[in-house]
Amino acid sequence: MTSDNIAIRVSHLSKQYRLGGPQEPYHTFRDAIINSLKAPLKVFHKEPPVEGFWALKDVSFDVRRGEVLGIIGRNGAGKSTLLKILSRITSPTEGTVELHGRVGSLLEVGTGFHPELTGRENIYLSGSILGMKRREIDAKLDEIVKFSEIEKFLDTPVKRYSSGMYVRLAFAVAAHLEPEILLVDEVLAVGDAAFQKKCLGKMGDVAKEGRTVVFVSHNMTAIMSLCQRVIVLDHGEIIEDSEPNKAIEVYLNSESSRSGIVAWNDINKAPGDHVIRLKSVSILQNGVPIYDVDVSQEAIVRIQYLNLVENSRFYVAVILLDRYGQIVFISVNLESFCLVPDPLCGKSLPVGLYQTNFTIPANFLNTDYYHISIHIARYPESGEYPHHVHIAESQILSFHTVDLGEMLKDISLSVPWAGVIRPKFIWSTEVIDVNNVKK
């Protein structure tokens, strides 16, 4: 691959984060002079070693101009860290990145816009950062506003936007201000289905125009439809770099997903906020975390979490997705969604450790790969919408369903049974008449 055809070159890239220990403070020029005078004394005051972990380790790859590259991997695999380095938000610990062209990025909600500025002002700010002249931004303004569908709120400070409104405008800006390289993280999951479809179409148009797209997503259908090539990250390392079908199969079978449980020992590193923190998410059969789930037996999805604020009220949602990231079903423990009411849902709870169980019935799922997403939200007050979400973890746990032969013992099949679910239903056949049938 000639250097003239390269949009992105990543060489031996590594990123280490410090765990605990003192954080590096901000230094003024005056501080730097004083510290340089103190430097000879530091030999007598050795700092204690600080534990660290490698979010990325020796990652190397090239992306061609006009190529659409997908990046997939489990939570914590290093996907978002990689995009932050490509976006120059975070600096690498080791290695280099070459970017040939202007970069537009859409990462997590909250990055890229100034919260005190209006939507209109942020459009012009983003264009200026990309090096565009005002008349160039003027020419794109109507197109951005139309795509984002937030015209009524264009002159409202973005700090008052909902997460969905923010994403709409942020994507419209990133895609329409004509960067040569477009970086898009999983943040599109915040938008509604129709807007996600529109965004995917726009990313395809961007690629057809000869610009480069790097797309991080848990949605395997979107990855397959949009990307020509896919990289699989696992514990900060590339374990596959190939065409989409092969890469997705490697991702689904990666060892990091096969434990049946994900847990956090340090509350400060666990998903959540000052109100609720996750402790663990697991899928169990016979009381044991399991990856290969027998479809002929019920399975329990168990969510353990810490309530950190007295008298908190909240509810829990489980989203089950198929191997491609498409929703199979959503279930919540609100009373109207339950066969039997959950006694603590919506109640004022004291500070403590809690556990919510959700049962997947026997003989319900087909044999395949599935993913579990978890949301925990504040119990809605009268008329409150949208509900405040404390935890929203996408595809936090995966599992594989297996058939030990119970359901298919009467049929000899050479191909898998179709469909994402395979429930047992009530069937009956009865005799109507055996004497008066006309031949």
DSSP secondary structure string, 379-431? PPPTT--SPPEEEEEEEEEEEEEE--SSTTTT---SSPPPSSB----------
pLDDT along the chain (439 residues), means of 10: 80 84 44 44 45 86 92 85 88 92 71 81 84 85 88 88 80 81 72 74 81 86 86 92 90 72 88 93 93 91 96 93 88 91 93 95 91 90 69 89 70 68 89 78
Q: Do residues 210 and 68 make contact, with C-beta atoms less than 8 angstroms apart? A: no
This model's pTM is above 0.85: no
Per-residue tokens: 399: 């599992």
- Backbone φ and ψ for 68, nearest 5 degrees, come out as -110, 110
CATH topology of domain 3-28+50-255: Rossmann fold (3.40.50)
pLDDT at residue 106 in the model: 73
Burial readout 277-308 (b: 16 or more C-beta within 10 A, e: otherwise):
bbbbbbbbbeeebbeebbbeeebebbbbbbbb
pLDDT at residue 289 in the model: 92
Q: Do residues 346 and 379 make contact, with C-beta atoms less than 8 angstroms apart? A: yes
Residues written for the chain: 439
| Residue 17, strand partner residues | 53
The CATH class that applies to domain 258-402 reads: mainly beta
pLDDT at residue 39 in the model: 46
pLDDT at residue 36 in the model: 43
Tokens 């990123």 — which residue? 15
Q: Do residues 322 and 252 make contact, with C-beta atoms less than 8 angstroms apart? A: no
Residues of the chain with CATH 3.40.50.300: 3-28+50-255
3-state helix, strand, coil in the chain (%, to 5): 25, 35, 40
- Backbone φ and ψ for 28, nearest 5 degrees, come out as -85, 175
pLDDT at residue 102 in the model: 83
Burial readout 333-362 (b: 16 or more C-beta within 10 A, e: otherwise):
bbeeeeeeebeebbeebeeeebebebebeb
Long-range contact list for 294-297, CB < 8 A, 24+ apart?
Answer: 294/401, 294/402, 294/404, 295/362, 295/363, 295/364, 295/365, 295/366, 295/367, 295/401, 295/402, 295/403, 295/407, 295/422, 296/362, 296/363, 296/403, 296/404, 296/406, 296/407, 297/362
Closest CA to 373 of 412, 405, 331: 331
**Contact residues for 372 (Cβ-Cβ < 8 A; gap 6+):** 281, 283, 301, 318, 319, 320, 321, 395, 396, 397, 398, 399
Residues of the chain with CATH 2.70.50.60: 258-402
Beta strands in 243-338 (DSSP E): 261-263, 276-285, 288-289, 292-294, 299-307, 314-322, 327-332
Query: How many other C-beta atoms are found inside a 10 Å radius of the C-beta of residue 139?
Result: 11
pLDDT at residue 38 in the model: 45
pLDDT at residue 413 in the model: 55
Q: How far is CA 274 from the centre of its chain?
A: 21
Q: Is the Cα dihedral 225, 227, 231, 235 positive or negative? A: negative
**Contact residues for 104 (Cβ-Cβ < 8 A; gap 6+):** 130, 173, 174, 175, 177, 179, 181, 182, 183
Q: How many CA atoms lie within 13 A of 151 on its CB side?
A: 7
Exposed, middle or buried by CB within 10 Å (0-12, 13-18, 19+), for 65? Answer: middle
Helix (H) or strand (E) holding 222: helix 220-226
